[in-house]
Amino acid sequence: MGVFAALDVSQEETAICLVGAEGEILAEAKVPTCPDAIADWLAKRAADVERVGMETGPLAVWLWNALTKRRVPIICLDARHANAVLKMMPNKTDRHDARGLAQIVRTGWFKAARIKSHEAYVNRAMLTARDTLVGMRVKLENEIRGLLKTFGVMFGKRVGGFKRRATEIITGELAVAPELIPIFEALMHARSEILARIAALDGKIRAVAKQHGTVRLLMTAPGVGPITAMAVTAAFDDAERFNRSSSAGAYLGLTPRRYESGEISRNGRISKSGDRFARKCLYEAANAILSRKLGVPRLREWAQAIAGRTGPRKAKVALARKLAVTLHAMWRTNTTFREAAMA
């Protein structure tokens, strides 16, 4: 007779439901969202619990690692799959959600989500922080351009870059309105601080790439720099997670959606599931191969043939998918990039 449990996790409290093999509810409770409190409650009421399930969410990685160390047989359920079952309940409460999750765990009708290694999450946090800072820099620059237009000053493009042009405006064209100078100096100071933080993170990323054998291996592919290689490595985490390298494109949402019902059968746009940042990096790498004419002429000709039939955007997506598949194959076989093999 198996015993199963489920956790409905929130920031303050976690609802726990314990069910038997026939689906009967054995115990329910709310405990603080703390690994010790959850593990102690389960140990007192079901020391031989077979499976404990919880949905993926912001606290899932921390709780999974902490409960695994305490020998709790915890699994993560894909939140999208669990939601399809839980939305059938007329009333949504934490207790009802825990009951529904417990029944899903008992029946086995779920898709377990993979928890990646600590190193993968650390590298991904570094890349996400850098991407956030780059977005803040771009937003500040656009804000400066927009505010200057209000006063009839066109930023335009000048030799020397953004900082040199901004300095010219502050010391020259804004001299007639000195009350505006402190405003734009504050924005430029904030931009300089962000650029310094981006440069510091770039240095850390290069240092990690230099020491990481897999990242160095993936960087042998055209258009793939340290950021793209680290993003792909953090997204896959383990080369053996896919039986076939062709699954890598679907995992990153670079394959078309499929809808088939009766006489209807059609392909849609790409699914855009999975790691958005890794997908963006691969698209930028594909754009570099096509636009900047990086090496691999046969690969570029393959993408240009697709562009002639369906347009450049779809060709770049196809090339990004091909890069994802190739990078995974390189990782699995521990082989550097070879154009002949890829073409």
Local confidence pLDDT in tens for the 343 residues of the chain? 589 999 999 999 999 999 999 989 999 999 999 999 999 999 999 888 999 999 999 999 999 999 999 999 999 998 888 888 888 888 889 999 999 999 999 998 888 888 999 999 999 999 999 999 999 999 999 999 998 888 888 888 777 788 888 888 888 888 777 888 899 999 999 999 999 999 999 999 999 999 999 999 999 999 999 999 999 999 999 999 898 999 999 999 999 988 888 888 888 889 998 899 999 999 999 999 988 877 678 888 899 999 999 999 999 999 999 999 999 999 999 999 986 655 4
* Angle subtended at Cα 156 by Cα 152 and Cα 162, rounded to the nearest 5 degrees: 115
Regarding pTM above 0.75, the answer is: yes
CA angle 66, 70, 76 (to 5 degrees): 55
> Which three-class secondary structure state does DSSP give residue 160?
coil
- Cα distances (angstroms) measured from residue 193 to each of 148, 189, 197, 259: 21, 6, 6, 49
Q: How far apart are CA 294 and CA 275, in angstroms?
A: 25
The b/e string for 249-281 (b: 16+ C-beta within 10 A; e otherwise) is bbbbbbbeeeeeeeeeeeeeebeeebbebbbeb
d(CA 39, CA 71): 9
Q: Which of 303, 241, 5 is nearest to 113 (CA)?
A: 241
What are the φ/ψ torsions at residue 342 (nearest 5 degrees)?
A: -70, -45
Count of C-beta atoms within a 10 Å radius of residue 178: 8
Distance from C-alpha of 306 to C-alpha of 312, rounded to nearest angstrom: 8
- Strand, helix or coil at 252? coil
List of long-range contacts for 40-46, beta carbons under 8 Å, 24+ apart: 41/16, 42/5, 42/16, 42/18, 42/72, 45/18, 46/3, 46/5, 46/18
Query: How is residue 324 written in tokens?
Result: 């994802």
173 by Cβ neighbours in 10 Å (0-12 / 13-18 / 19+) ranks as middle
